[in-house]
Chains A and B, each alone.
Chain A
Amino acid sequence: MDLLAVIQILDSTFRLATPLLFACLAGLYSERAGIFDIGLEGKMLMAAFSSAAIAAIFGSAWFGLAAGIISALLLSGLHGLASITFRGNQLISGVAINFLASGLTVLIAQYLFQQGGRTPSLSSDGRFEPITLPLADALAIVPVLGSIYSELLSGHSLFVYLAIFMVPITWWILYRTRFGLRLRAVGENPAAVETAGVSVHALRFAAVAICGVLCGIAGTYLATSLQAGFVKEMTAGRGFIALAALIFAKWRPWAALWTCLLFGFMQAVALRYQNIDLGIVVVPVQLMDVLPYLLTVVILAGFVGAAVPPRAGGEPYVKEH
């Protein structure tokens, strides 16, 4: 295997890990605040559709991004309303959001564009084009490092850099700010936070809103950067892989980055080598596809240290008077 092949696989890893990382961090904020969110998939899907639709209508990728974020925020608000305000079951609410997004996107797309539940193909104005880092072309001739810089680090969409940048930001917010401390506390022991005079509901709504924004970016990335338009069910389970990654990372931001890169890498390898011939055995592609879930089960079973979710996760908070 030569250097170019390695670089191409890693390149593909970054592209595939980006939506996972956004969704994983989105889930991290929400679940650290005690709100389980299996509606990541639905929010990404809704954002993918809205961003593609608005970008197609107005011919602007930035309008698309705004629409993607707003639509995911609306679904987040719905999740918050159901599970925080009305103390409903968070899992049921998440499932409902997934179904709602799956149906609504196709329905509205068909109504707006009559193209069978998809949006028209976006022109280049409606898409986030890859960014070439400075001097990438000039440095390409430098052996090894030059090609790593120009092929691997340069030439990604804005979102890829943003996703990686979000990891230290998230770490800093969670562990170095007052808001982050309260956010973590509200997921562990909301009564203590309430005693300190801070509103549990407001904190949880804030966490759910951040989750919505990040899911919105993830969906927009899928529809306006990786692709040029929306197709029915185009998230194809990425929201659930992100949830698996979140558990695998044990709800920590840096671990989330490594996990998403690992899962992205496994997908990239599976895409490039359908059957991996190891000489003695041939690893079928299906095994590569199932590995993220398999690893998560291994983690959950406690083989590699227990994955303990936030203690108050999934519990609606009832104020004590």
Chain B
Amino acid sequence: MIRSIFAAAALSLMLGAGSALAEPALIYAVGSKFDKSFNESAYNGAQRWAQETGMSYREIELQSEAQQEQALRRFAEAGNNPIITMGFAMADPLAVVVQDYPDTTFVAIDVTWLDAPNIRQIGFAEHEGSYLVGILAAMASQSGTVGFVGGMDIPLVRHFACGYAQGVKSVNPEANVIINMTGTTASAWNDPVKGSELTKAQISRGVDVVYAAAGATGVGVLQTSADEGILSIGVDSNQNYVHPGSVLTSMLKRVDVAVYDALKAGADIETGVFMFGLTEDGVGYALDEYNAALITDEMKQAADAAREQIINGEIKVVSYYDNDSCPVLNF
């Protein structure tokens, strides 16, 4: 009898503690937390918040898409608030789950098309950042032929390619942009060998700057570029340090900032659809000590001028999403 009273007391204490704490939660996209790219960027943002505030958060690395809805419900039931999700693939499970938990705030990175009052949806203008690295690529290229290696052939990757090609053509309308996708399944994000071969094939067709938007496949692209003595461009996180002197720059997508902001604001964060572009410093190109020698003043000026012009609307970078096609590329 006494024991059961204790148990009940302990239980209510735990429940009370759980709801009072309301830790935020972070759900990574299927794949590795430490991918040196998308997920790792979110992790870095969350760690920065945790260190600054001394508070903690819960997180889960998903092993398959089947766990998405389960993870969302588990965190929501446990009173975690806000719940941050990574990747476009979370859109469908979110659409099912959000209305069941109206008091929980969800933050969805890379999702912008859901209709619910309690989601903060964050999209990034990857085409604008890619446009800038396209300018740098075209100016660094001697041959007038630049390459792009994408991961899985999905609209998001085409969105990157399209912005890049527009940037290249803005500098050199005659430039040849060679686009390759690694594959059509999820293994296309993890096939550096194929990334290497694609890069070699592109080099043999005259490419001397290649942009990799391909997850871990990009490791092979960057490696082969360094081996063969051409320039490469990294993606999402700053990858300039991977092969100093060979990585021209990296297209930054500041997922870490988005996650940090969400954690800092907590459950009361403003909901709705937000687009992080050049104006908000949500995307950009990386310049640091590893690539300082590769980016000339002229290139920097051109990229910064284009950045200003995109921000004030003088240049309009066409998004692949607008009508599922790209004005300067044939997919």
Task: Please list the residues of chain A having a beta carbon within 8 angstroms of any beta carbon in chain B.
Answer: 4-5, 8, 12, 15-16, 19, 106, 110, 114-118, 121, 222, 226-229, 231-234, 236-237, 267-268, 271-272, 274, 285-286, 289
A271 near B180 with CB under 8 A, answer yes
Closest Cβ neighbor of B37 among chain A residues: A116
Q: List residues of chain B with CB within 8 A of the CB of A226.
A: 193, 196
B134 at the binding interface (Cβ < 8 Å):
no
- Indicate whether A118 sits within 8 Å of B219 (C-beta atoms), given known contacts A226-B193, A286-B184, A289-B183: yes
Q: Binary interface profile of B, 181-208, with partner A (CB < 8 Å = 1, else 0)? A: 1011001001111101110110011000
B187 near A227 with CB under 8 A, answer no
Q: How far is the CA of A199 from the CA of B180 in the complex (A)?
A: 53
B216 near A231 with CB under 8 A, answer yes
Q: List residues of chain B with CB within 8 A of the CB of A227.
A: 192-193, 196, 219-220, 223
Some 15 contacts from A to B, beta carbons below 8 A apart, are A5-B204, A8-B200, A8-B204, A116-B36, A117-B34, A227-B219, A229-B223, A232-B216, A233-B187, A234-B193, A237-B187, A267-B197, A271-B201, A272-B204, A289-B184
Task: Please list the residues of chain B having a beta carbon within 8 angstroms of any beta carbon in chain A.
Answer: 32-36, 40, 179-181, 183-184, 187, 190-194, 196-198, 200-201, 204-205, 216, 219-220, 223, 242-243
- Indicate whether A222 sits within 8 Å of B35 (C-beta atoms), given known contacts A121-B242, A233-B187: no
A268 near B180 with CB under 8 A, answer no
Determine how close the nearest CB of chain B comes to the CB of A9; give it in whole angstroms.
8
Q: How far is the CA of A285 from the CA of B201 in the complex (A)?
A: 15
B35 near A234 with CB under 8 A, answer no
Q: How far is the CA of A78 from the CA of B257 in the complex (A)?
A: 47
Closest Cβ neighbor of B216 among chain A residues: A231
B223 near A12 with CB under 8 A, answer no
User: What 7 additional pairs, Cβ within 8 angstroms, besides A116-B36, A116-B40, A222-B193?
Assistant: A8-B200, A12-B200, A106-B32, A226-B196, A228-B223, A233-B190, A268-B201
B219 near A229 with CB under 8 A, answer yes
| CB < 8 Å neighbour of B191 from A4, A114, A229, A236 | A236
| CB < 8 Å neighbour of A274 from B36, B40, B181, B192 | B181
A268 near B216 with CB under 8 A, answer no
Q: How far is the CA of A119 from the CA of B33 in the complex (A)?
A: 15
Most buried by A among B33, B187, B193, B243: B193
Q: List residues of chain A with CB within 8 A of the CB of B179.
A: 274
Closest Cβ neighbor of A117 among chain B residues: B32
Q: List residues of chain B with CB within 8 A of the CB of A5.
A: 204
Q: List residues of chain B with CB within 8 A of the CB of A118.
A: 36, 216, 219
> Can you list the 9 inter-chain pairs with the closest CB atoms, starting with the nearest?
A116-B34, A236-B191, A272-B201, A233-B190, A8-B204, A231-B216, A236-B187, A271-B197, A271-B201
Q: List residues of chain B with CB within 8 A of the CB of A110.
A: 34
Determine how close the nearest CB of chain A comes to the CB of B246; give it in whole angstroms.
12
Closest Cβ neighbor of B31 among chain A residues: A232
| CB < 8 Å neighbour of A116 from B33, B187, B197 | B33
Determine how close the nearest CB of chain B comes to the CB of A136; give it in whole angstroms.
18
Most buried by A among B201, B205, B216: B201
B34 near A15 with CB under 8 A, answer no
Q: How far is the CA of A106 from the CA of B196 in the complex (A)?
A: 21
Determine how close the nearest CB of chain A comes to the CB of B306; give it in whole angstroms.
29
| CB < 8 Å neighbour of A231 from B40, B190, B204, B205 | B190
Q: List residues of chain A with CB within 8 A of the CB of B200.
A: 8, 12
Q: How far is the CA of A52 from the CA of B279 in the complex (A)?
A: 42
Determine how close the nearest CB of chain B comes to the CB of A268; give it in whole angstroms.
7
Q: List residues of chain A with CB within 8 A of the CB of B190.
A: 231-234, 236
Determine how close the nearest CB of chain A comes to the CB of B78; give it in whole angstroms.
26
Q: How far is the CA of A102 from the CA of B23 in the complex (A)?
A: 32
Determine how close the nearest CB of chain A comes to the CB of B207; give it in whole angstroms.
12
Q: List residues of chain A with CB within 8 A of the CB of B35.
A: 116
A231 near B192 with CB under 8 A, answer yes
Q: How far is the CA of A110 from the CA of B35 in the complex (A)?
A: 11
| CB < 8 Å neighbour of B194 from A114, A236, A286 | A236
Q: List residues of chain B with CB within 8 A of the CB of A116.
A: 32-36, 40
Q: List residues of chain B with CB within 8 A of the CB of A268.
A: 197, 201
Determine how close the nearest CB of chain A comes to the CB of B326; give it in whole angstroms.
15
Q: How far is the CA of A137 from the CA of B273 in the complex (A)?
A: 60
Closest Cβ neighbor of B178 among chain A residues: A274
- Indicate whether A15 sits within 8 Å of B216 (C-beta atoms), given known contacts A227-B223, A228-B223: no
